[in-house]
Amino acid sequence: MSAPVRFLPLVDTHAHLNLDAFAADLDDVVARSRSGRFPEIRGRRVEDALFRPFVAAAVCPAVDLETSLRSLELSRRFDVLFAAVGIHPNHAALAEPGDWEAIERLALAAVDGDVKADAANANSANSATDTTDANSGVSSPLDGAKLVAVGETGLDRYWDDAPFDVQSALFLKHLELGRRTGLPVLIHSRDANDDLDAVLRDFYADAAPADASAPSNSPNFPNSPKSTSPPPSPGVVHSFSGTPEQALAWTELGFYLGFGGFVTYPNRKFAEIAEAARVAPLDRILLETDAPFLTPHPLRGKLERNEPLTTAFVAKRIAELRGLSVADVVRQTTENAARLFRFPTLPTEPTEPTLV
């Protein structure tokens, strides 16, 4: 008699499903992710006889105002998707006047729960974020949306898309918005980990170490969490690419670490990231894809783009590094994500997605 299949409810904490790469077939991508069906690779199905991973939730970070609004839209449309609003460092120089203020209003209004009153004061140049009178029939971008984070923000010295001082100033605005709203911040760092370390140590110098076990306010869905108390963490350093020492230092400050494709790559240049995943506190580790980018090994080069369900391969690699079962890693990282983002009760078995 064969053993029953064990379901593994994954959380992809960083998936850019609001980008054009998913515009044509997003319904299919979400359906595959939610039901645990990997895309075929060269005509073959990817299955496991004992485990059936599926995506119980995914967070959609933004890179600008347009994708912030798109993220909110997707969080209304799909029960498994949750939104973030922000401006990516590589888009910092492209932001139009008023874009940041519009994003700031969205985050503040979501937490305050006073969407219409806040939006009534909105600058007319940002009418996409305005809410008119309730009797007009025009709804707010926040109506029914599930806003759980600020970002993607951070620092990037790899690309030369925005002056570093412009990135830095905008990054600090995101950190302050996270502090004001109690929403966790999604942080990007590429070839800028030393810079990031200095900013985090300075900005959070007076903050007490976060208690990962501390209860957080229950979310009030379908609207975003309403909270006047600090979150259990200021945020997550996504697609972690630092040293083991930085991993320990940033978790000591209260941050979570998002591990994705990098940790699965066998190249020697990624060895420090693997070691960081081995030594970091397990209750501070999150799984992610950064989809459509950074497809994990062994699917790298075999898929046209990355998708949320490949977090299963990240979980498998972390389990190998730590000498744990895949089920234990998935269970803990899903608990971590639910705690950080204050998710409602997540599904424990794969099903077809619910469209709103």
Cα-flanking dihedrals φ and ψ of residue 44, to 5°?
-115, 145
Concatenate the DSSP letters of all residues of 229-278 into one string. S--SSSEEE-S--S-HHHHHHHHHTT-EEEE-GGGG--SGGGHHHHHHHH
Confidence of residue 50 (pLDDT cuts 50, 70, 90): low
Confidence of residue 209 (pLDDT cuts 50, 70, 90): low
What pLDDT is stored for residue 140 in this prediction? 79
Whether residue 5 is predicted with pLDDT greater than 80 in this model: the reply is no
> pLDDT tens, 256-283?
999 999 999 999 999 999 999 999 999 9
* CA 291/CA 13 separation, integer angstroms: 10
> pLDDT tens, 126-177?
445 553 334 444 467 888 899 999 999 999 999 999 999 999 999 999 999 9
The amino acid at residue 318 is I
What pLDDT is stored for residue 4 in this prediction? 55
What pLDDT is stored for residue 37 in this prediction? 87
Confidence of residue 118 (pLDDT cuts 50, 70, 90): very low
Average pLDDT over residues 336-351: 93
Let me know: does 9 contact 343? Beta carbons within 8 Å.
no
What pLDDT is stored for residue 139 in this prediction? 61
Average pLDDT over residues 178-196: 97
Whether residue 45 is predicted with pLDDT greater than 70 in this model: the reply is no
Report the mean per-residue pLDDT for the chain. Answer: 85
What pLDDT is stored for residue 116 in this prediction? 38
> pLDDT tens, 55-104?
999 999 999 999 999 999 999 999 999 999 999 999 999 999 999 999 99
How would you classify the pairing of strands 256-259 and 285-287? parallel
In sign, the C-alpha dihedral spanning 33, 282, 14, 156 is: negative
Higher pLDDT, 137 or 244: 244
Confidence of residue 22 (pLDDT cuts 50, 70, 90): very high
Concatenate the DSSP letters of all residues of 28-91 into one string. HHHHHHHHT-PPPBTTB----SSEEEEEEEEEE--SSHHHHHHHHHHHHHBTTEEEEE---GGG
* CA 195/CA 185 separation, integer angstroms: 17
How large a percentage of the chain has pLDDT more than 70?
79
**Superfamily designation of domain 6-39+47-341:** Metal-dependent hydrolases (3.20.20.140)
What pLDDT is stored for residue 82 in this prediction? 98
Whether residue 225 is predicted with pLDDT greater than 60 in this model: the reply is no
What pLDDT is stored for residue 355 in this prediction? 53
* CA 32/CA 197 separation, integer angstroms: 38
